[in-house]
Amino acid sequence: MKPVPATAPVRLTLRRPDDWHLHLRDGAILRAVLPLTAAVFGRAIVMPNLRPPVTHTAHARAYRDEIMKALPAGMQFQPLMTAYLTDATDAKDIEHGFHDGVLTAAKLYPANATTHSELGVTDIRKIYPVLERMQAMGMPLLIHGEVTEADVDIFDRENIFIDRILTPLLAAFPALKIVFEHVTTSDAVDFVKAQADDGRLGATITAHHLFLNRSDIFKGGLRPHHYCLPVAKRERHRLALIDAATSGHAAFFLGTDSAPHPVTAKESACGCAGIFTAATALDLYAGIFDAAGALDRLEAFASLNGPRFYGLPANADSIVLERGGSVEPAPVRTEADDTILSFTPPGGRLHWRVAPQASERSPRQPRER
């Protein structure tokens, strides 16, 4: 990142943001990480890849109840639930869940593309009846945009997904709203921009993909806490993501893909994919926007573009960000005594933080240096 300009404002007020791609898990991990998101974000699209996955409306309702039970007293937060699509998804159940207000969207995981996706869709044509029903009722489809064939290089999975799956999908369902989640390449950015005129294709961008390129995974040795899926790409792709996020373009919005894993699961012979950013996500985004000279566009990316795409009102209240000092994210401990490490950008500390007095939702956990 570039040095932070000396003339940058010390305080910045934003409409309260939302997180349009979030992993909360369940049980002890849910109870440990939920307050960190709820302290800053008004709503979040909650991922359904639990074990077992959230494949039906009844499970989504029960999971929502578990989340609300884990929310500390006095905090306000709205989980927006999703259904995990499989080859055997019942279109009627998805429709009932959407019309009953339980489900906000449905999530397409290509089988074996990422964490707990082994029960995902093996051939997208198998769920065409579900997609037809979703298109008719205006229910968004959220996509993990990678192919999984063994002969495709891991760094090419997103590009090939665009050609083989996403382009035909858009043609087959011309009114289906789609979110291309956690885009990682300049090719994906260009594709989303090219489709933007009709407003039915959006894209989320994570904080960690704005900081990491693929070399960061291997600097000085293997860095398991920088490993996620989709994997970080070349530097030119990272720069394209920064340009997209900070451009003010309405098709791009905040989705952390914050994915908590215990340290023991990350630092193992077969480490889990996923980067945990919930504790400091908005601080991370603010640093990127500050370095790009685009703080005036942070509110659109974090607070306005997502609600507009989903047809929801923006949050009514605000938060305040402060710039100054240096912050190192503290580890999160669960009731089971597992430790979850927060993402720290390559090269250092964070210089932005959500002002504690700006939110009565929950204390946060940064360590000042």
Q: So which residues are the catalytic ones?
A: 257
- With residues binned 3-state (H G I as helix, E B as strand, rest as coil), the percentages for the chain, rounded to 5, are 35, 20, 45
- Phi, psi for 148 (deg, rounded to 5): -125, 10
Instruction: Output the CA–CA distances (angstroms, integers) from residue 293 to 5, 68, 186, 237, in the order listed.
Output: 8, 38, 21, 19
* Euclidean distance between CA atoms 218 and 215, whole angstroms: 6
Give per-residue burial for 250-261: e unless 16+ CB within 10 Å, then b: bbbbbbbbbbbb
Three-state secondary structure along 20-88? Answer: EEECCCCHHHHHHHHHHHHCCCCEEEECCCCCCCCCCHHHHHHHHHHHHHHCCCCCCCEEEEEEECCCC
